[in-house]
Amino acid sequence: MATLFGILAVLLWGMLALLGTFTTRLPPFQLLAICFCISALLMFGKRLYRREPVFTRPGLTLPQWLIGITGLFGFHFCYFLALRRAPAIDVSLIVYIWPLLLALFVANRQTVLKALAGGILGFIGIALIITGDSSLALDQAHWTGYLLAMCCAFIWSSYSFYLSRSDNSVEDIGWLSAAVAILALLAHLGLESGQWQLSGTEWLGALLLGLGPVGGAFYLWDIGLKRGNKSLLASFSFSAPLISSVLLALAGINDWSMNIIIALGLIFTGALINNWPKRAPRLSQPDTA
């Protein structure tokens, strides 16, 4: 069941692009502040529903606070800055090295080669989805953007690996979300200009993002990594851009492409290689002669 929660988190991340079409006018840090505020409210709402103490102090240690905030806020901070300094296609492709890194982090000596081979196939599938018919030309003038995108990949894969070994409560994601909401608001006030008179469609989009890919999904990801099949979740993470492309095509925003079919085959094959069960050693038969 825990693995299913992790898979659901990836499915929600696949909805990010579609739901984001409702909020394209909003500055990114302003939207991030709203979404993580909603994410924090999920924790308080759950406690109210169960008639539990609402403001029970979090049990997070200092390292858990630092790594949690770095993962949730640091990832988005680097991502938004990378998009200002490099083309979106290049940034997106570099960022999605993180499932490959996570697969390597959770592998052991016996499975690391399988994780690498499966991860490379999954990454090629992602490359087909993200680049589409466009050409990928890494320009030295955008090196700061590429470096920030690589930071995103390392931050999220490291944060995810840390989650898989951390003993914090899943509810603590709510406290981390509250901290990230405050930091995002400060970043918005310092780096962006915007106004808070959102339309009904924009509020709806922000609400759905906060309940799903930029909020609720982080709780599900925490459960999946702590109690589920980490290797399978790392492999399935490659499918988020694929899910996004399919949903955009179904909504009539993007066109269908043969790349979607090819990417599906590559991602599935990569996941199969990475998660192929080890063959049990054959027991030698005793000599009865």
Q: Is-contact 146 86, C-beta < 8 A? A: yes
Give dist(CA 185, CA 230) in Å, integer: 33
Torsion of CA 266, 269, 270, 274, to 10 degrees: 180
Q: Which two tokens stand for residue 264?
A: 């599906």
User: In this predicted structure, what is the pLDDT of residue 76?
Assistant: 93
User: In this predicted structure, what is the pLDDT of residue 140?
Assistant: 77
Q: Which residue has the tokens 């200092």?
A: 62
Reported as a single tens digit per residue, the pLDDT across 13-25 is 989 888 888 888 8
Split at pLDDT 50, 70, 90, the class of 285 is: low
Give dist(CA 199, CA 185) in Å, integer: 19
Q: CB under 8 Å to 254, separation ≥6 — which residues? A: 245, 248
Q: Which two tokens stand for residue 79?
A: 């991502």
Lowest-pLDDT range of 114-123, 211-220, 254-263: 254-263
Percent of the chain with pLDDT over 90: 41
288, pLDDT greater than 60: no
Give the mean pLDDT of 156-164: 93
Q: What pTM value is reported for the model?
A: 0.87
Give the long-range contacts of residues 50-55, CB within 8 A, separation 24 or more.
none
**Cα 153–chain centre separation:** 10
103, pLDDT greater than 60: yes
Q: Which two tokens stand for residue 242?
A: 């694929």
286, pLDDT greater than 80: no
Split at pLDDT 50, 70, 90, the class of 138 is: low
Split at pLDDT 50, 70, 90, the class of 289 is: very low
Q: Is-contact 71 155, C-beta < 8 A? A: yes
Count of Cβ atoms closer than 10 Å to residue 152 Cβ: 25
Give the mean pLDDT of 135-140: 66
Output the CA–CA distances (angstroms, integers) from residue 154 to 23, 105, 223, 278, in the order listed: 27, 11, 21, 28
257, pLDDT greater than 80: no
